[in-house]
Amino acid sequence: MRSDGYRDHPVRSYVLTGGRAHPTRNTLRPETLLRAVDDGRELPASAGRHERTLVRTCRGTLALAELAAHVHLPVSLVAVLVSDLVDGGYLAVLSTPAHDLPAKDLLEEVLDGLRRL
């Protein structure tokens, strides 16, 4: 049986995403910060309840993973829905955390410090 979090979602995820398994944006990661765009536009009448809930929940800044937890949906499903909402201008990506490695000399200093312990 499914966990309680999925009990009220009898529709398969691929139906909610129109059969898509991947978001249109490769930059959406679980730590990506999102916020609803407050420009007075309403979601189109064709938007489903999940899209409306996502936008309503993002009135404050939330990470994609937090948003998924709030709406009790898998992160992979929320990423696809969010990418559509970002493409439509209803949600904004506030930051995409950089995944740059620290400079080599900084890593060497940290290693030297650890060795002295």
Show pLDDT as tens, one digit a residue, over the chain (117 residues). 445 554 555 555 655 655 565 566 677 888 889 999 988 888 888 888 888 888 999 888 999 999 999 988 888 888 888 888 998 899 999 865 555 667 788 888 988 888 988
* Number of structural domains in the chain: 1
Report field, pTM of the whole predicted structure over 0.75? no
Which residues make beta-bridge pairs with 34?
A: 62, 93
What does the angle CA 40 – CA 43 – CA 46 come to, to the nearest 5 degrees? Answer: 160
* Residue whose entry in the numeric block shows the structure tokens 């060497």: 108
The boundaries of the domain holding residue 77 are 4-116
What six digits make up the tokens of 14?
């691929």
Name, in order, each residue with C-beta under 8 angstroms of 59's C-beta and a sequence gap of 6 or more: 35, 36
